[in-house]
Amino acid sequence: MLIIFDLDDTLIDTSGTIIPFLFEKILIEMQGKGFPVSDIEREKQLLLELNKKEPSSKSAIEKYLQRKKGNVFMASAFSMLYESLPDSCPVVCRKNSLEVLLRLKKDHELALVTSGMYKRQIDKLKKAGIDRDLFCKILVTDTADKEKAYGEIVSCCQYLPYEIVVCGDRIDADLVPAKKWGMTTVHMRYGRGLYQKKNEYVDFTICEIEEIEKIIRKLLVHL
Ligand SMILES: [Mg+2]
């Protein structure tokens, strides 16, 4: 089988480490530019709360600054969100993701389809200690919708859609397009995925990455 993984909040803990780090950095820098922040920690928690329900961290910042009447800081906050990750930024794997990838790799092919900027996504892989060579294909899409990227994989790999499993935390961006291609979908309930309700685009739901191994074994029986 071919198993396609999402990166942020599926293999690595973006919500728990990278996002809080970036929000704090942005608040400190905006404070330095005159944005009135009396308690960085409290404002960071507020931003993180907003981030849970927003489709992206960019829109969380947008909403936050609109509320705080800080629109003038919007552009610089956005640019900080997308500049390369500082060395001090923690990037860690989610529990057991590396071990699971290594075990799956023995019998299956793995691919990575992630949204964002290429350099930054590859940088995250490196910092998390995930070897690029684990994946037969790595695609970084600049749009949230992965339909085109999945199509590229279908057209160039030897797998039929029903032999492909896609695992990601965002139903709209990761799983809806996979289902359109006839792939099997596994919803990772983490990060933004915690707040998305299961729908017809979700075949399986997991909270921990190792649960996918059982699903793959089950699917293999029916192939
Ligand atoms: Mg994700």
* Residue 9: closest CA among 208, 149, 151, 215: 208
Spans of the chain below 70 pLDDT: none
Kindly give the distance from the C-alpha atom of residue 35 to the centroid of ligand 1, in angstroms, as a whole number: 30
Half-sphere exposure of 80 (CA within 13 A, CB side): 19
Give the per-residue pLDDT at 192.
81
Give the per-residue pLDDT at 145.
86
Kindly give the distance from the C-alpha atom of residue 177 to the centroid of ligand 1, in angstroms, as a whole number: 14
Kindly give the distance from the C-alpha atom of residue 25 to the centroid of ligand 1, in angstroms, as a whole number: 22
Q: CB atoms < 10 A from the CB of 127, how many?
A: 17
Kindly give the distance from the C-alpha atom of residue 213 to the centroid of ligand 1, in angstroms, as a whole number: 19
Please report the DSSP string for 180-208 in residue order.
HTT-EEEEE-SGGGGGSPP-TT-SEEESS
Sheet of 2-5: strand order equals 137-141, 109-115, 2-5, 164-168, 184-188, 204-206
Question: Under a CB-based contact definition with an 8 Å cutoff, are residues 178 and 150 in contact?
Answer: yes
Kindly give the distance from the C-alpha atom of residue 124 to the centroid of ligand 1, in angstroms, as a whole number: 13
Amino acid identity at 2:
L
Give the per-residue pLDDT at 196.
81
Rounded Cα distance, 23 and 45, in Å: 9
45 Cβ partners below 8 Å, 6+ apart? none
Token pair for 46: 């507020």
DSSP class of 133: G
Distance between first and last Cα of the chain: 10
Token pair for 168: 């990601």
Give the per-residue pLDDT at 139.
97
Give the per-residue pLDDT at 194.
83
Give the per-residue pLDDT at 144.
80
Give the per-residue pLDDT at 125.
96
